[in-house]
Structure 1
Amino acid sequence: MKLAYFVHDLNDPAVARRVRMLRAGGAEPVVLGFYRGDAPPDMIAGAEAIDLGRTYDGRLGHRARATLRAALGVGRLGEILAGAEVVLARSLEMLLVAVAARRLCATSAGVVYECLDIHRVMLGQNLASRTMRGLERALLRRCSLLVVSSPAFTREYFEALQGLCPDAPPPVLLLENKVLELDEPSLSPARERSAARPWRIAWLGAIRCRRSLDILTDLARRRPDLVDVRIHGRPAYSEFADFAAQTTQTPNLMFGGAYVADDLPRLYGDADFCWAIDYMEEGQNSAWLLPNRVYESSRFGATPIALKGVETGRFLEARGFGVRLADGLDIEAFLDQLTPEAYAALRTRLQAAPSHDFYADRSDCLALVETLSAARRLPTDGGK
């Protein structure tokens, strides 16, 4: 099945993971999208990558203009898109481009919307927010399938705010942000844990929550006896006053930069806990998402720390493991009271959880592509 995959950032590691899933499931994707960073790749996980231009974190006006230019100029992609059976769009901006591409270049393709975050601009009551939701509703009517990474996105946003009816198209596929393991799992042995202070907390992935950084740096500065914080990933520098200064001037806190998927067993295997708390869009996207880190840390042996009352906390509660706090500031009191015996009990509960809750294998890839293949046969008015 030939598939055109429109993405917001060709350099996003999560895009490469999805491309690997698609290829492992039997699809033949070509990836088209914007890029952030110094240069776009020519290939992503064995698939051809087509650069549509550069965009930047936080610059919504620039991204809107770039999206409009790409949608208006999509006709030049006719040869690349010829024969595509499915047009898959990662994010709303790319859905606009994908619908235009389907209309002009791949008129028999099914359109699939992959929504992995609900941006705060979609949730307001001003004219801009209402206009964006109206655009999304119009584009959804042209979709054969909606893919979400958290059930709360469907429940709290698409049904509650966008009026999506559970019994009407497009149908919804829950595709969680699990670790991708295409070969026989071979987990690296975790470090020998002394079950004693300082407790090591790993914060990995998209680093974008200013309040989380403030909590962790303050705690590391005041209590080097209690915590050792390790941060790895891709910071959204626009969200912080001075990320570099804050991370380099804090004792017992280290920023290790970007990493690749093969580093995850080591990075989490060296940690006692994973920071899975996010305040960036408190009460909205942060309350609804199920981030990569909750699956990755659970898979590789670091107990996740989340908030009660948000989807991540409910995920942990339903599976009977992890730490759930009322507020991130409660982390100091929790760790102060943590005994070696209580820590051992936390690890035992994590190890008892079904491992397939945390990783996707080849059978999951085949199921995904089969679902996408069925979506191309569903009715769509995208060609009208």
Structure 2
Amino acid sequence: MECSFKTVNLEIKRVCILGPVIIGAGPSGLATAACLKQKEVPFIILERESCLASLWKLKMYDRLRLHLPKKFCELPYMPFPREFTLYPTKQQFISYLEAYAKCFSIEPLFGKEVRWAKYDMTMGFWCVRTNEFEFVCRWLVIATGENAEPVLPEIAGLQDFRGKVIHTNEYKNGADFHGRKVLVVGCGNSGMEVGLDLCNSGAQVSLVVRDQLHILPKEVLGRSTFALSMWLLKWLPVRLVDQFLILCSRIVLGDIRKIGIKRPKIGPLELKNTTGKTPVLDVGAIAKIKSRDIEVVRGIKRFTSRGVEFEDGKADEFETVVLATGYRSNVASWLMEGGFFNRKDGCTKNLFPNNWKGKNGIYSVGFSGRGLLGVSIDSQRIAEDIASQWNSQMKH
């Protein structure tokens, strides 16, 4: 399957791979590997960290649960265990991924951080360089996902703030923040959940809400809002489903304008389809905002040594700042190819459902903006496409 030799000048071992090289051993890489296994196509997985699913194991907060029911989050060929909760916990999902890798005998090569990857037009192969090796392959699968690196915004005066500043990738739980004044910057799903966790742990929490956003109840009449919307989309256009979701939100959560949160004019599903911005699924933060246990504050003008001056002229002091400012792809920093991925944001230029395949044997999985359901769809398409080429190649 493999052949290897040392290059004379660079002292890098070149390894020829008959099948594809998959970069990333998270859910996307594991799903693609399992699908290739089913097609009997050999592969290797390169993972920069020392474990699989490193984002979930090392960088996610303890209270995290899957936001969607488990049937929408299963990877190909393996359902969640029946005893798992409807919305699996962080630890349940990690154990599922570990069992998934074991079931399909997937063994990533850990500690292999990709320095660069490029297509050699002369050879007609991809070259993938790590610290010690250069892997040569016909097919390259980018499975590092949209959340490879934390986004650290540049905010005036942040370097002067004397308190503690952390990103949510460093936050585990609120045990160490009891009684402290904490500012959470960012009001997406992570910001809302971390704010709620801090509040439940006895912290004094302020939440920065700068932009308009859609907040939906996680469930309506005991049924997942996501599942309900997917069912309605079979019969109704997006705009009607959006109107229904906003109506449900007003009935369940009330008028969020009264707590300082404005909705966009575009509906939640239409906004997701056009911009990729995901609506927030409320897990209890709105009730805390209504009771004023969590304070909503406006955008930040600048940091001071002890706190923050806000855009509305108000100021306050804080001991800790939690940046719930999300993650981004890091593909643009190492992939030397500009046709399939954007150089600016490291995501695919083509939107779902045409996001999974580029030219010269390059593929992406986990960049559809459709979560784990999109991962499952992409991985199966990729495996089928590579398998058809593999079988043709073996015949000749």
Same fold (TM over 0.5): no
Structure showing greater Rg: 2
TM-score interval for Structure 1 and Structure 2 normalised by the shorter chain: under 0.3
Normalising by structure 1, report the TM-score. Answer: 0.27
